[in-house]
A = this chain, B = another copy of it.
Amino acid sequence: MSIYVLIHGAWHTGDELADVAGSIRAAGHKVHTPTLAGNRPGDPKTVTLKEAIQSAINYINDNVLSDFVLLGHSYGGMIISGVADQMPDRIRRLIYWNAFVPADGESIDDLSPSHYVALFDEITAKDSSVMLPFPIWREAFINDADLATAESTYNKLNPHPIRTLKDKIELTNNLAELHIGKSYLNAQQDISMPHSLPWHPRMSEKLGLFRLVEMQGSHEVCFTNPSLLAKKIMEAGRE
């Protein structure tokens, strides 16, 4: 039995990981799917990256978790990097699932293609949130879904606090040198990052020695194939 803590991506909450969590629980594990500060209903959208990371740390402390597998999806990679930096001894293994792997001082914007940065800057709302336009969601995030699934899942998303994409992370440790197991879980048809500037190996190799696990699917396998995702998370997370 292992304990999994799954950290969602931008525009998501932990609720959208319910199906995958269910499949992992069915295999005998404990699973937590907290929602980060900034993505909870009613949260101010001025939340900073540091505050979002702190909200994950608070969750772990409140639930007195240790020896757990900590997974981050997409933006969640920034969060788990920040958590691991502050409490490495509590974590058994990190799993980056098509997730950002930052060096000290890097932001998501630093790691993203400039067309995303320009677009998000242009469409940021007055409350400091940014919403992903549906056409990008449909074609580049959930390209393996039919239209009905693309629409129903889009309706579950929430505007994301833009500062968490712009803030540069502060890390005391080099992730590659932390004595924690590291896995990178890569969905092969994920083009939310263009394949000319891909998740893997561009992000994964910043981890130093890591375990690669791959699966078919888009950036949003949590919606299009949660049972496959659960299986692959368990392959990535096992000893």
Q: Using CB atoms and an 8 Å cutoff, list the residues of chain A in contact with chain B.
A: 135-136, 138-140, 143-144, 146-147, 181, 188-189, 191, 194-196, 200-202, 204-205, 209-214, 216, 235, 238-239
Contact = CB atoms under 8 A, between A and B. Distances in A.
Given A143-B213, A144-B235, A195 B189 contact: no
Given A194-B201, A195-B200, A196-B205, A211 B147 contact: no
A189 B212 contact: yes
Given A140-B210, A195-B200, 11 more contacts: A139-B181, A139-B209, A139-B210, A139-B211, A140-B211, A147-B238, A147-B239, A189-B212, A189-B213, A194-B205, A195-B204
Given A189-B212, A191-B212, A210-B139, A146 B205 contact: no
A143 B211 contact: yes
A196 B202 CA distance: 8
A238 B146 contact: yes
Contacts of A140: 209-212
Contact of A196 (B138, B201, B212): B201
A195 B201 contact: yes
Contacts of A138: 211
